[in-house]
């Protein structure tokens, strides 16, 4: 799985002008499933996100995770993270999981996150979404959960 985690002061997802998910301080996470991904990788991604130490402690060092700061998780599916631009100027998205698998794995990420964390919001799989955020830092962490 591919993910991009952004430390945010606030973030929200809108669809057709309506907010469908929002958080205050926390992590906005863009998530992309690849064809060979499994539910085990989805669970591993959630574990990694919840333990990711990107929030400042009292000394200003990035030593705290999202749970320690009581932050939110805003999970947004984004198949374009699998873009391949090596063949020209138009990206290929064949590296992304087919829609049914992508949705099942994204749903597993959401389910696992909600089991372990109190403040979880989402976008809507496959929808045309507008994502609004205030990136804090900025801190943006690309992640790949192994094959």
- The one catalytic residue in 78, 103, 106, 116 is 78
Active site includes 79? yes
- The one catalytic residue in 25, 79, 106, 122 is 79
Active site includes 122? no
- The one catalytic residue in 80, 85, 116, 140 is 80
Task: Tell me if residue 74 falls in helix, strand or coil.
Answer: strand
Question: How would you label 8-36 residue by residue, b for 16+ Cβ within 10 Å and e otherwise?
Answer: bebbbbbeeeeeebebebbbbbbbbbbee
Cα four-point dihedral sign 112, 142, 6, 88: negative
Active site includes 125? no
Catalytic residues: 78-80
């Amino acid at each position: 799985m591919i993910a991009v985690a952004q430390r945010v002061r606030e973030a929200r997802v809108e669809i057709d002008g309506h907010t469908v998910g929002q958080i205050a301080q926390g992590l906005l996470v863009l998530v992309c499933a690849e064809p060979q991904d499994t539910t085990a990788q989805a669970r591993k991604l959630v574990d990694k996100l919840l333990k990711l130490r990107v929030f400042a402690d009292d000394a200003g060092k990035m030593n705290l995770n999202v749970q320690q700061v009581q932050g939110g998780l805003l999970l947004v599916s984004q198949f374009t993270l699998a873009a391949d631009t090596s063949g020209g100027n138009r990206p290929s998205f064949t590296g992304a999981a087919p829609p049914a698998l992508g949705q099942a794995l994204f749903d597993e990420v959401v389910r696992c996150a909600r089991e372990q964390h109190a403040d979880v919001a989402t976008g809507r799989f496959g929808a045309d979404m507008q994502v609004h955020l205030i990136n804090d830092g900025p801190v943006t962490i690309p992640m790949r959960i192994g094959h």
